Structure formats: structure tokens, C-alpha cells
């Protein structure tokens, strides 16, 4: 045997092995759940093998391209028969109960009830191969206990608490409808449609549905009906830097996703859930995207007050003026420093009593004197340092909690930890920029 060729072959094999190890991926297609899902999809006209399920070391379960997807080409095309929408629910055994109910339930609740019921039916359910691959639990704040909610940045804490309250309200107000479904089940509906079950179904719908408009059904409430659960397609993870075109094609009767930039063979095929910052990704989807270009650190009112001059007799009035002009919301730090809104709010807060007449022009973008501008940069630096300290404390507490946590607790803590680390990164950049400005 030719020795050079043999060595070259060994080198190539080693390189190939190394490449595989670097990816640290675990394919899942051979697992019983996925074999059954593929069979189920095949029966409904989806036969493509160009994406396979894989466990990726960084994003968890997702889909890998088995062949290069060229720019503008199809990533996936899922036939209508595979989609689970409110039309599916309104054609099911649950339809009569929904149609009879007044006031009509929302499209979201209809989908949740159907998912809970189908999960309860287990192998007897037509949708079992799909329901079987759905996560058993989620890392969305709806699942977080209070001590984990408290470790979120303040502005996100507020949104997460509101979301929990809205969910609680949905659960309470749905009790009588759940009870009306009793004839369909042997088990009491109180046990079946528990708070845990609704939370699982709600998160399944919220984290996995694709946007698809439907004709409004007269049997459902007026809330927009834009959800479609899309088995297999919903294994695609999000990447903020990827662009796709997605939608239901009325001619092919398929839900189609096209890649704008393409995807290389053996790489994870990503889609884009929208231009969301990390707060939104965590709130709605239970994860954080590293180096997310849309991410910012929010300055809430409590933090803003830290950077202000308490001796300023006009402080209350200034804050009220900012509030009335919608300038106390969306004040942020990004990778490129403080936002225009934050600096504008600070400029107004920097004004001296005799500069009262300039309030309006400053909010419209007028410049202030160099000494006021320096005051603003120093205040921004104070805010940045305060937020950094808050992050350090949260990260220390997270490390303590992680020690005694169980698996699902650990997953929640890790998501919050990655959010806090991403924020530290942004604040570090901002601090550098502000310090440079002060040195000039």
C-alpha cells in the first residue's frame, strides 16, 4: 500500500473525526420518538430528509441540514395536514362543547384545551407522535418560583410578574369551561385541566407556534387567531443573525420557510423568531441568545434615580415632564453606549433651574452646554456602575442557588445566569465608551 496515501488518509480521517468532535452533536433520528414522528409525518405527505433532529451542545435540540441549503432555497415545506390549528380543534370531539360555550373562548384557550386533552389520551391520540416530542417542562418565567423571578433584571421582573398574573387570570376564568368538558372524560376535569397542565399547554403554544392567519371563527372570541403548531418544523431554533421568509402558501397548501442566506451541510438550520432582545426571548421563549445584536440593558426608574441630583428642587417636576412626554420608558444601554433616549432624558435632568425654558427643546434634541453634557456622561456612568453591581450580586446569588438545585431548577437558573452575563458584557462595553468620553 502506498504509505503517503495511507498517511494522508489517516490525516483526513483524523480531521473528519475532529470536525465531528468539535460540533459535539448527537443525532436523534434513530430514537423511537423520532422514528414514530417521521412515520406520522410521512403518512401526512412530509417525506423530506434534508433536516434531521440533533442535540447541539450550545442550543439543545434543533435541526441539522443534511445537505447544503442554497440562498433563497426552501428550508422546509410542511403540508397543511400536519398543522394543528383552531380548525383542527373545531373539527374534533371538542367542537360541540366550544361551539355551545358563551361567551366564546379564545383561539389560544381552544388550542391549549385540545393539547391537554390529547396528551391525556396518550397513545390513543392521533397527535401522540407529535405530543410525545414536546418538552415536558419549559424554562419560561411562568415556571419560575418567586426567588428566581427576583433574580431577573428589574424591568423584566415586572413583565414576568404581569405575565404570571395574566396566566393566573386565564386559569381562574376558564374553570367553568373546563368543567363543561366533563362528559368527554372519565377523570375529573379539575385533575385534568390543572394549573400545571394549562401552564404546559400555554408555553407549548407560546414558544412553538408559527404565525398563520386564519379566518376568524364565529365560535371563538375576537382575539386574533394566528397560531399554528407545526410538528417537526417547530424543532428549528432561533438565530438573531439569520434571515428567513416564512408563511403558509395557499397554492401548495404547505407552511414554507425559505432561507435568505442559505445554510451549510451539517450545520444547524436556524430560523428567526423576530428582532427580539434577550428580555423578550427569555419572557416568551425561555432562552437567551448570546451576542444578540438586539439586546440592550434597560434602565428602570428606580435605577435612573440613582444617577440624579437629589438636591435638585425641580427633580419631581422634571420626572413628571419626562413621563408625560413618554421619556421614562425604553431608556437603555447597548453595545454602542447609552441610547439617544437615555441621554436625552439625562440632558433634561441636568438642566439648572434658570434653564427651565429649554426643557422642550432639549427633548427635541437640542444640545446642552459642555459642563451639562459632562454631568450627563458622569450620571450615565453612575447608572452603568449601579447596574453592573446589581448584576454581580445576582450572579453571586445564582451561583449559591445552583448548588442545591434540582435539574429543572438548574435549567431556570442557568437561563437567568446567561442573561445576566450578556448584560455584564454590554455594560462593560458601555463603561469603556463613557470613560473614554470623560477623558476627552
Ligand X SMILES: C[S@@+](CC[C@H](N)C(=O)[O-])C[C@H]1O[C@@H](n2cnc3c(N)ncnc32)[C@H](O)[C@@H]1O
Positions that interact with ligand X (CB under 6 A): 59-62, 135, 207-208, 234-239, 285-287, 289
> Rounded to the nearest whole angstrom, what is the least distance from the CB of residue 55 to ligand X in the complex?
9
Angle between helices 195-208 and 154-173 (to 10 degrees): 120
> Rounded to the nearest whole angstrom, what is the least distance from the CB of residue 29 to ligand X in the complex?
14
Other CB atoms closer than 10 Å to residue 241's CB: what's the count?
Answer: 11
Q: Measured from the CB atom, is 83 or 322 closer to ligand X?
A: 83
> Rounded to the nearest whole angstrom, what is the least distance from the CB of residue 235 to ligand X in the complex?
5
Q: Measured from the CB atom, is 59 or 221 closer to ligand X?
A: 59
Q: Measured from the CB atom, is 107 or 141 closer to ligand X?
A: 141
Angle between helices 278-285 and 407-439 (to 10 degrees): 170
Q: Measured from the CB atom, is 210 or 319 closer to ligand X?
A: 210
**CA angle centred on 120, ends 77 and 146, rounded to 5°:** 90
**CA angle centred on 159, ends 155 and 161, rounded to 5°:** 115
> Rounded to the nearest whole angstrom, what is the least distance from the CB of residue 185 to ligand X in the complex?
28
Going by the DSSP 8-state scheme, the letter that residue 236 receives in this structure is: P
Q: Which residues pair with 245 in a beta bridge?
A: 258
> Rounded to the nearest whole angstrom, what is the least distance from the CB of residue 207 to ligand X in the complex?
4
> Rounded to the nearest whole angstrom, what is the least distance from the CB of residue 407 to ligand X in the complex?
15
Angle between helices 340-350 and 315-324 (to 10 degrees): 150
Q: Measured from the CB atom, is 272 or 430 closer to ligand X?
A: 272
Dist. CA 15–CA 108, nearest whole Å:
50
Taking 3-state DSSP, the helix, strand and coil percentages for the chain, each rounded to the nearest 5, stand at 55, 10, 35
Pairing of strands 337-338, 60-65: unpaired
- Cβ burial 137-171 (10 Å sphere, 16+ → b, else e): ebbbbbbbeeebbebbbebbeebbeebbeebeebb
Q: Measured from the CB atom, is 331 or 417 closer to ligand X?
A: 417
> Rounded to the nearest whole angstrom, what is the least distance from the CB of residue 61 to ligand X in the complex?
3
> Rounded to the nearest whole angstrom, what is the least distance from the CB of residue 63 to ligand X in the complex?
8
Q: Measured from the CB atom, is 46 or 359 closer to ligand X?
A: 46
Burial of 419 (0-12, 13-18, 19+ CB in 10 A): buried
Q: Which residues pair with 62 in a beta bridge?
A: 54
Dist. CA 157–CA 141, nearest whole Å:
9
Q: Measured from the CB atom, is 115 or 381 closer to ligand X?
A: 115
Amino acid at each position: 500500500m502506498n504509505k503517503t496515501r495511507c498517511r494522508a488518509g489517516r490525516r483526513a480521517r483524523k480531521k473528519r473525526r475532529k470536525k465531528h468532535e468539535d460540533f459535539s452533536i448527537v443525532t436523534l433520528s434513530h430514537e423511537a420518538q423520532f422514528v414514530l414522528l417521521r412515520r406520522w409525518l410521512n403518512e401526512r405527505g412530509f417525506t423530506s430528509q434534508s433536516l434531521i433532529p440533533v442535540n447541539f451542545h450550545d442550543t439543545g435540540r434543533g435541526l441539522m441540514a443534511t445537505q447544503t441549503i442554497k440562498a433563497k432555497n426552501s428550508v422546509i415545506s410542511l403540508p397543511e395536514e400536519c398543522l394543528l390549528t383552531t380548525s383542527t380543534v373545531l373539527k374534533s370531539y371538542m367542537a360541540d362543547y366550544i361551539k355551545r360555550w358563551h361567551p366564546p373562548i379564545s383561539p389560544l384557550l381552544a388550542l391549549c384545551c385540545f393539547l391537554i386533552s390529547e396528551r391525556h389520551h396518550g397513545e390513543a391520540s392521533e397527535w401522540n407522535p407529535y405530543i410525545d416530542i414536546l418538552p415536558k417542562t419549559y424554562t419560561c418565567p411562568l415556571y419560575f418560583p418567586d426567588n428566581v423571578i427576583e433574580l431577573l433584571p428589574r424591568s423584566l421582573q415586572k413583565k414576568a410578574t404581569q405575565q404570571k398574573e395574566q396566566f393566573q387570570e386565564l386559569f381562574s376564568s376558564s374553570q367553568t369551561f373546563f368543567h363543561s368538558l366533563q362528559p368527554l372524560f372519565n377523570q375529573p376535569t379539575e385533575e385534568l385541566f390543572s394549573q400545571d397542565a394549562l401552564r404546559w399547554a400555554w408555553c407549548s403554544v407560546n414558544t412553538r407556534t408559527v404565525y398563520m392567519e386564519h379566518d376568524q371563527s364565529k365560535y371563538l372570541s375576537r382575539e386574533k387567531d394566528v397560531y399554528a403548531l407545526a410538528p417537526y418544523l417547530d424543532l428549528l431554533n432561533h438565530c438573531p443573525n439569520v434571515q428567513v421568509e416564512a408563511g403558509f402558501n395557499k397554492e401548495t397548501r404547505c407552511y414554507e420557510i425559505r432561507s435568505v442566506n442559505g445554510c451549510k451541510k451539517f450545520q444547524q438550520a436556524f430560523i428567526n423568531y423576530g428582532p427580539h432582545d434577550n428580555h423578550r426571548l427569555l419572557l416568551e421563549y425561555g432562552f437567551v441568545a448570546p451576542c444578540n445584536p438586539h439586546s440592550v440593558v434597560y434602565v428602570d426608574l428606580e435605577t435612573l434615580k440613582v444617577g440624579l441630583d437629589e438636591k435638585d428642587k425641580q427633580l419631581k417636576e422634571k420626572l413628571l415632564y419626562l413621563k408625560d412626554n413618554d421619556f421614562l420608558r425604553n431608556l437603555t444601554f447597548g453595545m454602542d453606549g447609552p441610547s439617544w433616549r437615555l441621554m436625552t432624558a439625562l440632558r433634561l435632568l441636568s438642566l439648572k433651574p434658570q434653564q427651565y425654558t429649554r426643557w422642550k427643546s432639549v427633548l427635541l434634541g437640542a444640545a446642552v452646554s459642555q459642563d451639562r453634557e459632562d454631568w450627563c456622561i458622569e450620571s450615565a456612568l453612575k447608572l452603568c456602575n449601579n447596574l453592573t453591581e446589581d448584576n454581580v450580586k445576582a450572579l453571586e446569588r445564582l451561583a449559591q442557588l445552583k448548588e442545591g438545585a434540582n435539574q429543572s431548577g438548574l435549567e431556570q437558573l442557568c437561563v437567568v445566569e446567561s442573561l445576566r452575563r450578556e448584560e455584564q458584557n454590554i455594560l462593560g462595553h458601555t463603561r469603556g465608551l463613557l470613560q473614554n468620553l470623560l477623558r476627552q
